[in-house]
Amino acid sequence: MYELSNVTKTYEQGKRTVTALSDVTLSIPDGQMVAIQGPTGGGKSTLLQMLGALDRPTEGTIELGEANLSKLGDGKLGRIRAREISFVFQSFNLIPTLSAQDNVETALALLGVRSTLRKERAAAALASVGLGDRLGHLPTELSGRQRQRVAIARALVKEPTVLLADEPTGNLDEETRDEIMDLLEGLWQAQGLTLIVVTHDTAVARRARRRLLIKKGVLTEGA
């Protein structure tokens, strides 16, 4: 359960102050699938950073369950991210020197999972996204769609409560886009997690029950 009240985020850019989020108040119940839409520079990614405990707001409070994300220190936020929040990025963000298997394992490395169990779980996660036969491949040896599948496996392997995706299909063609969205939606249903997808693609947004629009830092509920 997310509770955001009067969240404002400003960035200092030289002498100018950029307001990326302006007085955002929002509540997202657990297990909901939400799409965030809006023009480029509107503040989508900034909102996702707030939700993902990657950064603290300039003003206002963000609560995830019991945790006040706007007040906690870097270490505590890191531990919350490690256990509860997963990300899927537009450009996949795989570690280029690590194999698919090792990339997925990075998500478990900080959780004290024993190495044999870690390997099993990573392999299972990759199998569940259809890459059971690509465990040893490096990112450069995989196609864009396969890379995003590895990234999804990495996001799911730790069984998070929240999955945040920032333009997950932005670098993929239409056919692949649907394939990846099918996969994400299927996992959302299967695991009962909160799925928040940032997109400017209406086809992607239409899949969500709830749509939010953010323009110039101002959030409105969409139809």
Partner 1 sequence: MFVTYLRRELAGRRKQTAIVAIGMALAIALVIIVNAVSSGVQLAQATVLGSVYGVGTDITVNLTPTAPAEGDAAGGPQKFDFGAADGTTADGTTSVSQARLSAGWGTFTFDQAALGTVSAVDNVSAAAATLSLNNTTFNGALPGSQTQGTPPAGGATPPDGGPDGAGGSSFNVDSFSVLGLDPADEAVGPLSAVTLTDGRSLTSTDAGANVTVLDSSYATTASLATGDTVSIAGTDFTVVGLVTAATADADTAANVYIPLDVAQTLSGLTGQISTVYVQAASSTDIAQVQADIEKALPAATVDTQADLASSVSGSLASASDLVKNLGLWLSLIVLAAAAFLIAILSTISGVTRRTREFGTLKAIGWSNGKIVRQVADESLVQGPLGGAAGIAIGLLGILVINLVAPTLTAGATSVAAAGPGAGFGAGGPGGAGPGFGGAAQAAATSDIVLSAPVTASVILLAVGLAVLGGLLAGVIGGWRASRLRPAEALRSIA
33-37 and 210-215 beta bridge pairing: parallel
Residue 89 site contact among partner 1, Mg ion, ligand ADP, none (CB < 5 to 8 Å, cut-off depends on kind): partner 1
Q: How far is the CB of 105 from partner 1 (least distance, A)?
A: 6
- 25 vs 4, 44, 63, CA distance in Å? 5, 14, 11
Q: How far is the CB of 89 from ligand ADP (least distance, A)?
A: 12
The piece of 19-27, 38-46, 98-106, 200-208 that touches Mg ion (CB under 5 A) is 38-46
Contacts of 222 (CB under 8 A, 6+ apart): 37, 205, 211, 212, 213
Q: How far is the CB of 77 from partner 1 (least distance, A)?
A: 8
Q: How much is the CA Rg of the chain, to the nearest whole Å?
A: 17
| E strands present in 134-193 | 162-166
Q: How far is the CB of 60 from ligand ADP (least distance, A)?
A: 16
Q: Where are the alpha helices (DSSP H) in 40-143?
A: 44-51, 74-84, 100-105, 115-128
194-198 and 33-37 beta bridge pairing: parallel
Amino acid identity of 115?
Answer: S
Check residue 46 for interaction with Mg ion (CB under 5 A). no
Q: Which of 18, 22, 65, 78 binds partner 1 (CB under 8 A)?
A: 78
Contact mark string toward ligand ADP, 37..76, x via CB under 6 A: -x-xxxxxxx------------------------------
Q: What are phi and psi of 59, to 5 degrees?
A: -140, 160
* Tokens encoding 86: 């997963």
Check residue 45 for interaction with Mg ion (CB under 5 A). yes
Contact mark string toward ligand ADP, 133..172, x via CB under 6 A: ----------------------------------------
Nearer residue to Mg ion within complex by CB, 45 or 103 = 45
Binding site for ligand ADP (CB under 6 A): 11, 13, 18, 20, 38, 40-46
